[in-house]
Amino acid sequence: MKNFDAKEQTEKVVQFIRDYYKSAGVGGAILGISGGKDSGIVAGLMVEALGKENVIGVTMPCHSKEEDKTDAKLISDYYGFELINFDITGTFDTFKNELEGLGGFSEGDLKNSDINLKPRLRMATLYYLAALYSSLRGKTYLVAGTSNKCELYVGYFTKGGDSVHDISPIADFTVEEVIKIGEYLKVPEKVLYKQPNDGLSNQSDEDKLGVKYADVAAFMEDENAVDEKVAEKIRKLHANNLHKFNIPTYKKSA
Amino acid sequence: MKNFDAKEQTEKVVQFIRDYYKSAGVGGAILGISGGKDSGIVAGLMVEALGKENVIGVTMPCHSKEEDKTDAKLISDYYGFELINFDITGTFDTFKNELEGLGGFSEGDLKNSDINLKPRLRMATLYYLAALYSSLRGKTYLVAGTSNKCELYVGYFTKGGDSVHDISPIADFTVEEVIKIGEYLKVPEKVLYKQPNDGLSNQSDEDKLGVKYADVAAFMEDENAVDEKVAEKIRKLHANNLHKFNIPTYKKSA
């Protein structure tokens, strides 16, 4: 975070988004609004770049807390973009019912599958709505991604879920840098300083990972900046994560 | 397809799969069995590499023809691997019902969204089952991809759908080469020579694309090998397809 200039970086990201939209000949952005800071800040950047009339936010509760929806509303009211609610609880439950045909499974067996099904259904929902509104409104909507650099480094995302999107504005910013941008954009404080959690497992993201994002950011700049035990944990998370990006592919020439 | 040696290539792919499984410390493979040649051949390769007891095939009908299920059974019987049926029709319909809350849409508005929802639900299903059976059986199942080189070149796949997988055995083979490998593996002829279609739109893949895969393969070797009009079409499909692989990402250093 040496010499991080939030104003300069915000202006550059906004220009990057505008340039890409112009070159690709597309017009709208759609993104999931979880009620957390990352999606709030990406929404702010897309509104800044494209205008609020070209941004659609989507809340996709799935057996979720009402609070997340309230915070999503706070963000959409603040920026003035359209907010759609698409409840995926029914879709999730129907999927799970279908599973009963395969045998009786314990909650423990299903836990990991359940946790990752939700972001995958959310991705499918965003792309469904992106195509629908592109057709209805005669401009192409892109799905905006909300992953930050720390999450991407340690693999805190779901392959085939939130990792699937069409433009990635904050993927090169650490959590601390994302917050600086949020402060510059005046994202409502309640959202900006909320302890992030996935809304799925009732644990904070950092609890689940077992590392602090501040340590991940420090490690990425200098491996010796954190305790060796912490460094080892981050190295392991990062190594386990690499397969999500590089699909092993047979090549004839090999 | 100059000098394509199906026996040599098959042996090399099988070795590639075995090597990767060993290095990654994983044990099983799960894949969608559409009843078409690509999934049939990938199933054959995975069985050859890992043994039939480590391969699970999944049929995922969605308002589908019964014939596809019969052909999937033909393949699983031939190779002797386990075949699971997981009907996604209910999940698909529940999703569509939820949509009604957003307003009245015409079939035309929804058509493109519907076509791509199915492969995304199938991807979510495969990953759900992969995690479940990994937990149940104490070995990690990878999702095997079934895209071939021609489809990948012209973008005949769904981003966030069949493009999401963990290992890609036939991605560097043209359609013609895939068939040669299928012949070497003695994949049942009914499956091997079936006109491919996505089971979604009642059109053959080639009809939908407007180009023949043989022309795509010829073009990839030599752009002048096909009619200029055909070449132009292939170039356009390929260009439109590139964004699916390269997500535009803002970089601080830029």
B interface test, pick of A89, A113, A118 with most B CB neighbours within 10 Å: A113
Average per-residue pLDDT in chain B? 92
Location of structure tokens 């092993």: A248
Query: Residue range B218-236: average pLDDT?
Result: 94
Per-residue pLDDT averaged across B245-252, rounded? 90
Nearest to B172 among A166, A167, A252 (CB): A252
What is the value of pTM for the model shown? 0.95
Whether the CB of B148 is below 8 Å from some CB of chain A: the reply is no
The SS3 call for residue B81 is: coil
**What local confidence, expressed as pLDDT, does residue A2 receive?**
67
A88: which chain B residues are within 8 Å (Cβ-Cβ)?
A: 95, 98
Identify the structural domains of chain A with CATH numbers, from first to last: 6-205 (3.40.50.620)
pLDDT at B32 over 60: yes
With 0-12 / 13-18 / 19 or more C-beta atoms within 10 angstroms meaning exposed / middle / buried, residue B247 is middle
Q: Complex ipTM, two decimals?
A: 0.94
Which residue matches tokens 């009642």? B202
The pLDDT tens digits for B99-131 are 988 988 998 899 989 999 999 999 999 999 999
Going by C-alpha positions, the residue among B55, B10, B65 that lies closest to residue B34 is B65
Residue A141 DSSP one-character state: E
Window 191-250 of A: residues touching B by CB (8 A cutoff) are 243, 247-250
* Averaged pLDDT for residues B139-151: 96
C-alpha A234/C-alpha A167 separation (Å) is: 26
Whether pLDDT at B1 is above 60: no
The residue with tokens 């949020």 is A182
Taking only the tens of pLDDT, chain A with its 254 residues reads: 568 999 999 999 999 999 999 999 999 999 999 989 999 999 999 999 999 999 999 999 999 877 778 899 999 999 999 999 999 999 999 999 999 889 889 988 999 899 999 999 999 999 999 999 999 999 999 999 999 999 999 999 999 999 999 999 999 999 999 999 999 999 999 999 887 666 656 678 888 888 999 999 999 999 999 999 999 999 999 998 888 888 999 999 75
Pairing of strands A55-59, B28-32: unpaired
Does A120 contact B116 at a Cβ distance shorter than 8 Å?
no
Is A121 in contact with A91 (CB distance < 8 Å)? yes
B128 touches A: beta carbon within 8 Å: yes
